[in-house]
Structures are given as C-alpha cells and as structure tokens.
Structure 1
Amino acid sequence: MTQAGLTRELGRFVARVAREGAPGEARAVACVGFIDTTGTLIAARQEDAVQTLLRALAPLPPGRARLLYGAQTTDAGTAALVNGTAAHALDYDDVALRGHPSAVLVPAIVSLATEMGCSGARMLDAYVAGYEVWGELVDRETGIHHLKGWHPTGIFGSIGAAAAAAVLLELDEEQSMHALGLGASQSAGLMSNFGAMSKPFHAGRAAQAGVLSARLARAGFTASADALEHPQGFLAAVSPRGEVDPVREVAVHARWQLPARRMNVKRYPLCYYTHRSLDCMLALRATCPFAPEDVEGVEVHMSQEHATVLRNHRPTTGLAAKFSIEFAMASAIVAGRAGLGELTDGFVQQPLVQRLIERVYVMAIPADDPHTPAAAWADQVIVTLKDGSVLQGEPVHQALGHAERPLGPADLRAKFVDALAHGRYEGDAQALFDQLAALEQMAVFTL
C-alpha cells in the first residue's frame, strides 16, 4: 500500500473515473447490469415489500427521479431506496462480488442520473467505478461474511454506491474519499433477515446511502481519511475472523476487474446458491422423467456454507421459499421449473410441494472450489424413487448464466421481456431493451 492509504487511494481512483471515464469493454459489461436489473426492478413493482415501503414513505418528497419506471417521481435518495428494494425484491438480480452489486448500483445511478440529466456513458462509468471499488474491498477478506451473519450486498453496497454517485457528481479526490467513508458508516444488512422484506431493503438502503454520501461529501461533509483501513475501520469491523488485508497495493490503479470478472445473471428468482442444484435437477428430469408422487427422497450434495445461507427448511410463503433448497427441488420436480409463477404462497403451500419439501436432504461436501469461496467444486442431486431406483444427476460446476456460461443475447432479452410482463409494464418491453442496450450512445438519460 502506498503511504496515502486505502480510503484515499480509492477516492483517487473514483475521481479519475469521473475525469477520464472507463474503457469500452468495461462499459459493455456494465450495460448488461443495467438491462438485467431494470427487468428485475420492473418485475417487482407490485411486490408486497415494494408496496409496503411506498405506503410507509407516503407522502413522498417532490423531485424528478422516476419511481419504478412509472409516472410517479420523487427525490433521488427516495427513488434509490424504493428502486433498490424493488431490484432485489424477487432475488432475480445478478450475483457477483459475494453479493448483488447491480441491485444497488443501478438504482442509485438511475435515480440520481434522472434527476441530473446525465449521459448514458457517464452512468456506465459510474457503475464501473462502484463495481471496481466493491471488488477491491471484497478481495481483501479471506473469510465468508455470510457465516458471520453479514449480508455483503448491504455492507459493501453503500460504499460501492457512494463511489458510483461520486462519479455522477464529478467529485474530486478529497470529496470522493469522504463519500466512501460516509458510505462505510452506513453499511448494514443481516443474514438473519433473509426470507423477509428486510433483505431487499438492504439493497435499497445501500443505494440510498450512496446517493446521500456523495451529496454530503460534495457539500463539505467529512469522513475519516482511513475509514476503510483503520484497525477500527470498515474492513476490520466486518471481517468474520479478522483475516483481512488493509495494506496491500490497490489493484484498481493497475487493472480493470469488470471485463474479466463479470456478474452472473440469474435464470431463477431464488437465492443463487440453489441454481447449480436446480440446473442438475431439471436436466435429470429431462433425461430421466419421473412422477412427483414416485419420489421417496432427494439428496442435494452442496457445501455446508451454501446450505447455511439456505436457512428456510420448511417454507410456507413464496418469500421464504427463495432461501430454501428443499423448495427449489420440490418446485423443479412438481412444476418442471422454478420461476416467478412458482414463488407464490399458493404454490408453496400445495400439499404435494410440502410433502416433497420434507423429502429433501442436504449432504454436505467440501467447499473446495478455489475460484468461488464457500462453494463446492460442483453441486449434484440424487433422487431415490419408491421402487428403489436411484437417479443421479450430472454434477454442475457453474450454473447457466454464470460468467463462465453466460446467457446469450436472446436469453437475456427473453428474461427481460418476461420480467416486464410480470411487472405489468405499460410500455414497449422490446423497445426499452433496445434503448438500454444503446445506453452508451444516450446523450441524456430519459427512459
């Protein structure tokens, strides 16, 4: 680490992005984040978490930032809170950096950019800055934040969003440093709230905190110059076992992470830790069809770390089912899918679904994937039928949609269009997709 320290060096990096922009290959990946998150955000417009939040905030303060891609507007901070909560409400948003970066970054950027009249290129640059800062901090920790009870989306998101907002506001190095420190002091999110409205609220609050942090810094509000790296600072405070490196050289000055470290786009609106097993089960059903009534038991082979996050073993609501490997397997067996239509209280409570939930067991295997902390090298499902037959699925190393197995343009568009239909979007979904795909050429963001 240079003598300047981590917080100041990251402030310098954010200010550099504001001045010089990000490379085209990084902007192109960021554009995928905007497309996918816009879809998941609109899809969740009618969700209880979003509508309850709106009722609690009423009457909304005036402003020019749009809510939920509809006609209603409010100030940027409130819009970031609501839009960020919506982006994560279905747990259908992308995954990377041990959390859900786009669900925080995109709502913060869109809300503030709409109010300011920013260009699409500057919005993409803001995303890149937030993503890079988030990755820089995550990579300094060897422990698993989930196992300590932290939700990384909430604790890192407020800092990433502060970096993104600082780019939009064109803050200088000193101001950007303060914005990051202010974001760090607003970090929050507990894993115990998974399966409740509080989980998407973590993303919304992080987006709102980022907007507020950058605005405060622009006005002269200060934070400590070592807020991130101090022994009583952010990294040490949230470290599960104190295994954190606050002093190594800052990587963002030497290379861009985003082009090589893309986000993973979800195919299912459930916790990402269910996705490899879902791919395995659905492939098994396709090659070896069997009736749900014939299932005696299902073994899911996955790491104990991932199983710990999937804390809801007997869910009775769609919200709780998002964090249940038992439900994921039951849904795949009964419906042949695990989509938005299955994440309802009515489907979860079906007697056949509940019976299958009780027949699913987790077999913990080593978390030995060197490239994915806390993950096994591959997840696998084994189904035992009542006649004694045993069906083994092919182990799945990376779920379809992972950065190593990315969705093609047609699949990304299909997910987007389906999401907008679910959210009862009033406009032309295909046209909105095309506009977002051309975000870099947009002189003023007006969607």
Structure 2
Amino acid sequence: MSSLTAEIGQFLANVKYEDLPLEVLPMVRDAFTDTVAVVMVGMDQPVAEIVQTTLVEPSGVAEARACLSDLRVAAPSAALLAGAIAHSLDYDDQSMSGHPSTVLVPAILAEAEVLGSTGQEMMTAYVAGYEVWCELWRRDRGYHAKGWHPTSVFGVMAVAAAGAVLHRLQAERAAAAVAIAGSHAGGIFSNFGSMMKGYHAGMAARFGLEAARLAAAGMTAGPDAIENKQGFLMAFSTERTPDLTSDSRLGKEWYLPKHKIQFKLHPTCYFLHRSFNATVKMLEGRKIDPEDVESVEVRMGRGQVTVLVYDRPQTRYEAEFSGQFGIAAAVILGKMGVPELADEVVQQADLQAFYPKVKLIPIDEVDERDPVFSTYESVKMTLRSGEVIESGPILTVPGQAGEPLTREQMWGKFRECTAETHSDDEARELFDALQRIDSLPSAASIPTAAGLFESRLATNVQ
C-alpha cells in the first residue's frame, strides 16, 4: 500500500474537470463569485493599505544585501534566503531544541540595513529574540514528538521580537508583532531529511520580520494570542498541558547564561556529535576493520533518538539525522565534515553495510539545560572476536556549553566555510568585523562579498 502522501499527490496529478460531480459546480461558482466580491468591498479597509505598503510594494525594492553580497533585495527576502542557506547543511548553532542564530542573524542583518541600526542595536535585538524564544520554550517541551520543528515554531516568534526591538516599537505594538508571528509559526518534523528543513529557518526569518513590520504599520492581533487556551502555546503543545499561567521571567532573569549557544564542528544534527566524537577518540591508536565489528550500541536521550530517524540513510540530508551514519563515519572515515556528507559517500558500500550494526538505545535521563538531550551518552562496540570496547559516559563535545570553541577553532571553521567565496584576506576581514560587531556603526560596515551570486543563483530571488 502506498503512503497517504503519495496517494494525495497522485490524485492531484490526475484530477480533471470532467471528473467533478455535476451537483457541486454551482456551489464552486458561487464560491469564486463571493470571494471576489468580498475582496472588492474590503479594498478600503486598513488591512489592505497595511499589507500593500508593508509587504507588497517593498518586494521589488533593493533594501538589503542578500547574504552580505552585492545583490540587493527586499529585507524579508534577504532574511528568507540567508536563513534557508544557513540551515541547509545543519552546520549552524543549536540551543533550546532548535537553531536560534540561523533565524535571528539573517533577519537582524537584513533589517538593520534598512533601519540603519548600529552594532549594539543588532546585538540587543539578538539577545531579546533569544530570550523570548526561551520564555516560550520553557513552558512546554517535546515539540519534535508532536511533529513540529522548534526552529520554525519558536524562530518566527524570536525574529518578530528582534524586529520589534530594531523598529523600537512601543509595548502594544511589540506585543502585536509577536502575536502576528504566532499565526506564521509552523514547520513539520516529517520534512527533516530534505531541503525543507533549511527552508523552515528562512521561512521563520522572513515571516518574523514581516510580523514586526506589520505591527509597526498598525496591524492588530489577539491580545492574548500566546497564552489563550486556543492560542500559540496550546496549539503547539504535545500533551496540551503548556504552562499558560506563570509570570514571565523576561526582564527579571536572563536565560542566555543558562541556555548557552552551542556551536558545531560537524555539519549534521547536533544530536549525533557526542557519540561520533567519542567513537573517534575510543578508537585512537588502533585500526578497526569494519567487517570485524559485530554490533554498536549507542545510548542517548529519548528526544535525540526521536529526531535521528534515518537508520539507513541514502542522501546527505538523511545522513544529517542518522546516528548510524555518525558511528559509521567515525569507524570508517574518521571524520565528518562537508565532503563526508556527500550523497556518494553516504551511499558507499562499506558505510551501507555498517549501518545495520548500529543500534540507538533511548534513555530517559535529561539535561535540564536542554531536555531534548540526555545528561550523558555512551558507545559500546562489540567485535566478532568477543572483545568489547566502551567509551564510558560522554558528557560533552567541543562547542557544547561546557566545552566552548576557542577563537582559533572558530576561525578554522569560518575559513573552511568561506574557502569558496572569499580569499584569505577577505575572510579574515569579515571574521574580524563580525567578532567586533557591537562596535560597528552600522550593518553596512560589514564587508560585502562582490559577485557572490553571479554563478550561483538567478538575480531575481524575491
């Protein structure tokens, strides 16, 4: 039996007018007629002017640099593009069950160019958006289990909050921005392992900015859109038991010091980094023939196992969410960078033969800093000879909160990532500017990469 999704697609591909029941045709005609009518009568309503002047007309305006290139597009379009690209390899940072910077940074950089915001204002907007994400996220957990992508659920709210700060909105308008964003929140987990996961981030960045712009222009929204029993929190809650009543902690305590940003040295879901890293260390100094491995048991958080759904990955997108790939890469490749995530590598016969040997075993102990993670992981490898090799408890990995990357490590990753777009000198100039962003007079002070899109994308990305 084919999947429901496939059956729906097939229906849509094949349906013809001649197949429609005759009795529905008058109703469908009325539906078209009535809808056009109510559009016409509403042309003089405030929402018409707000949407027209805030979103439609600027869509063709060269407001901001797309990905810091010399291609200029509307700021929401720049946020969409940069956000989608930033998350496309799953190489971006992680915290609070999602990826805050991949939505916040593209949106803030784009809107800061429009508003002339200083580096300090950009930094303030980032922290404000991050804190709002935390405030909402702490009220319920387990979004992956219900089928949501937290990055796009919370990211759009965070960007709206950051946009409100950049626009210097008053309290009522800032609240409206976040309420508006609640109707844009979404992103389904079943699109993990495809290009759509990256798009979720771009989507959140764009819609968050648009929410802030709409609020600035006067768009109204539900005053209790977040805590209402039919509002944001309840709509996305896994168990329908979100905290709707506790007081906000915003402005009373800071979340960022507790829920730190975690940076990656590998372009995959962060949930498989600890076990990969531990396996590499565990095998240092000895060469293991993959055929000599009988089995590998990886114990990790139940939430992590929920996300690592591809036990037999065939593409780079699937490998990003495969604990089996992480262990196979550690044993066979010894590294897990961008080249190792290529489709042809993921499909190598030796890797494919190794995947079935790896079993992920969920444990229920959780890390309070981010309960999607367990407090520890462990790897147990059994060889055909009967020998057992164990990692012991794995508590951290470079880039995690307890083991932050050094400036040298951060530069090493930055230079690797800019190898195809910047010369050594250009990369260093950009790196240094970003490392002192709060001292910059404006976003325009960040260097431009000329010609970045000439051979990569069509010039019309709006």
Normalising to structure 1: TM-score of the pair?
A: 0.83
Aligned counterpart, 2:317? 319
User: Which of the numbers 430, 434, 437 marks the counterpart of 1:436?
Assistant: 434
Q: Is the Cα–Cα contact under 8 Å of residues 104 and 205 in structure 2 kept in the other structure?
A: yes
Quote how far apart the aligned CAs of 1:309 are.
0.7
* 1:102 equivalent in alignment to 2:106: no
Give the drift of 1:439: 0.7
Q: Look up the SS of the partner of 1:382 in the other structure.
A: strand
**Distance in structure 2 (CA, Å) of the matches to 1:260 and 1:393:** 28
The secondary structure found in structure 2 opposite 1:316 is coil
What amino acid is the match of 2:225? A
> Cα distance, 1:395 vs. partner?
1.9
User: 1:358: Cα distance to partner?
Assistant: 2.0
User: Which residue matches 1:10?
Assistant: none
Post-superposition offset of 1:340: 0.8
Moved over 4 A (4+): none
Within 2, Cα distance between the matches of 1:186 and 1:121? 28
Q: 1:301 and 1:288, CA in 2 relative to 1: closer, same or farther beyond 3 A?
A: farther
Structure 2: segments with no counterpart, 5+ residues: 1-58, 447-462
Q: Hey, what's the Cα distance between the residues in 2 that align with 1:371 and 1:82?
A: 30
Shift of 1:183: 0.7
- Indicate the residue corresponding to 1:418 in structure 2: 416
Greater CA drift, 406-415 or 425-434 = 425-434
Question: Residues 190-339 of structure 1: matches in 2 within 5 Å?
Answer: 190-339=188-337
Q: Is the 8 A contact 2:96 2:370 kept in 1?
A: no
Structure 2: distance between partners of 1:269 and 1:202: 17
**2:259–2:370 contact (8 Å) kept in structure 1:** no
Maintained 8 Å contact 1:367/1:374: no
Cα deviations by residue, 1:68-118 (Å, 9 ceiling, x for unpaired): 222211000111111000111110111111110101100110111123322
Determine if contact 1:186/1:209 at 8 Å carries over to the other structure. Answer: yes
Structure 1 gaps, min length 5: 1-59
Structure having the higher Rg? 2
State whether structure 2 residue 71 is matched by structure 1 residue 76: no
What is the alpha-carbon distance in structure 2 between the residues aligned to residue 368 and residue 179 of structure 1?
33
TM-score by length of 2: 0.81
| Matching of residue 165 in structure 1 with residue 163 in structure 2 | yes
Change (3 A) 1:289 1:432: same
| Residue deviations 1:233-265 (CA, integer Å, cap 9, x gap) | 001111100221122111112122223432111
Aligned to 2:60: 61
Quick check: 1:152 aligned with 2:150? yes
- Distance in 2 (CA, whole Å) between partners of 1:374 and 1:95 is 11
- Secondary structure at the aligned position of 2:164 is classed as helix
The match for 2:129 is 130
Please say if 1:88 is aligned against 2:87. Answer: yes
Alpha-carbon distance in structure 1 between the residues aligned to 2:142 and 2:397: 21
1:346 equivalent in structure 2: 344
Give the aligned length.
386
Instruction: Return the letter of the residue paired with 1:309.
Output: V
Change in Cα spacing, 1:372 to 1:218, as seen in structure 2 (3 Å) is closer
3-state SS in 2 of match to 1:301: strand
Q: Percent identity?
A: 39
Name the aligned partner's letter for residue 376 of structure 2. A
- Contact in 2 for aligned 1:124/1:440 (Cα 8 Å): yes
2:211 is paired with a residue whose SS is helix
